[in-house]
C-alpha cells in the first residue's frame, strides 16, 4: 500500500506517506502557516519516498471537526489532488485520529478513549471511542458541546484515556463532569497525520472511500459561514 495523508485542522500541520513498510512523516506546530506549508511538505515527502501521485493507492485527510479554515484547506487540497490524479480519498474525523494516537495505550490497559478538542466559544468537540482490531471506532456520537454538559452514556465502571487540547483548556469544567471517572491523561494535544494511516488502511480495505466530488467537511457546529 502507498498512501498519502495529511491534517491541517488545528494549530499543527502534519503529513505522512506510507510506501509499503516505510513511513515518511512531517509534524510541526505552525499556527496560521498550514496553507503555505502543506503542499511543499507533500512534495518533499513524495521526493523522499521516490514516488509520484500515480503510484499512490489513495489519499487520506481529516474532514473535521476543527478550525474552519484548516478543515476547508484540507478538504480543498484533498479534492484538488484526487481530481487531478484520479485518486480515491479516505476522509476521517479529527477526533478519531486523536483517538487512534492513543490506541496502543487503550489496548494495553483495556480503556476507552475520550477525545476533546477546543471548539472555541467555550465549547469542545467531543467523542468516545473504542479500539476494534487495532482501529479507533465511535462508541458515542461526536458532538460540539459545553464541556460541563457532557454526558457519558452506558459506560459504567469503564476506565478511559483522554486525548486532545480540550482537556487542558477546559480542565476545571471537565473535572466537574469526570471527577469520579478513572481517567489517564495522554498529554497529546493535537492530531498527527501519521495516525490517519491505520484508519486509511481499514477504510480502503472496506471500500469506504470518497471521490473528489463526494468528500465534504464535518463541522459538527451548524452555524458555519
Q: What's the rounded mean pLDDT across residues 62-85? A: 97
With a pLDDT cut of 90, the percent of the chain lying above it is 92
- 221 pLDDT tier (thresholds 50, 70, 90): confident
Q: What's the rounded mean pLDDT across residues 193-200? A: 98
pLDDT the model gives residue 223: 55
**Same-fold call for 2-94+191-205 versus 95-185:** yes
Domain boundaries in the chain?
A: 2-94+191-205, 95-185
State yes or no: cis peptide before 133, omega within 30 of 0: no
Domain 95-185 has CATH 3.30.420.40: yes
CATH superfamily of 2-94+191-205: ATPase, nucleotide binding domain (3.30.420.40)
What percent of the chain is helix, strand and coil (3-state, nearest 5)?
Answer: 35, 30, 35
Look at residues 72, 81, 95 and name the one whose alpha carbon lies nearest to residue 166. Answer: 95
pLDDT the model gives residue 180: 86
* 81-140 per-position pLDDT tens digit: 999 999 999 999 999 999 999 999 999 999 999 999 999 999 999 999 999 999 999 999
Cell of 61: 485527510
**DSSP assignment, residue 136?**
E
Amino acid at each position: 500500500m502507498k498512501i498519502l495523508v495529511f491534517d491541517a485542522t488545528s494549530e499543527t500541520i502534519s503529513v505522512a506517506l506510507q510506501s509499503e513498510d516505510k513511513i515518511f512523516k512531517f509534524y510541526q506546530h505552525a499556527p496560521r502557516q498550514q496553507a503555505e506549508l502543506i503542499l511543499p511538505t507533500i512534495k518533499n515527502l513524495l521526493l523522499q519516498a521516490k514516488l509520484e501521485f500515480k503510484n499512490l493507492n489513495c489519499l487520506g485527510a481529516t474532514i473535521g471537526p476543527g478550525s474552519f479554515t484548516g478543515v476547508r484547506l484540507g478538504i480543498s487540497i484533498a479534492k484538488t489532488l484526487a481530481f487531478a490524479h484520479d485518486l480515491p480519498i479516505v476522509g476521517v474525523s479529527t477526533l478519531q485520529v486523536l483517538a487512534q494516537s492513543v490506541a496502543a495505550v487503550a489496548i494495553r490497559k483495556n480503556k476507552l478513549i475520550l477525545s476533546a478538542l477546543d471548539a472555541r466559544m467555550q465549547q469542545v468537540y467531543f467523542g468516545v471511542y473504542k479500539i476494534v482490531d487495532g482501529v479507533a471506532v465511535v462508541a458515542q456520537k461526536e458532538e460540539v458541546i459545553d464541556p460541563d454538559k457532557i454526558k457519558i452514556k452506558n459506560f459504567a465502571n469503564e476506565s478511559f484515556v483522554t486525548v486532545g487540547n480540550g482537556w487542558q483548556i477546559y480542565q476545571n469544567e471537565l473535572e466537574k463532569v469526570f471527577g469520579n471517572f478513572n481517567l489517564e491523561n495522554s498529554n497529546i494535544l493535537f492530531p498527527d497525520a501519521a495516525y490517519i494511516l491505520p484508519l486509511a488502511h481499514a477504510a480502503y480495505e472496506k471500500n469506504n472511500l470518497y471521490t473528489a466530488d463526494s468528500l465534504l467537511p464535518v463541522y459538527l457546529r451548524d452555524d458555519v459561514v
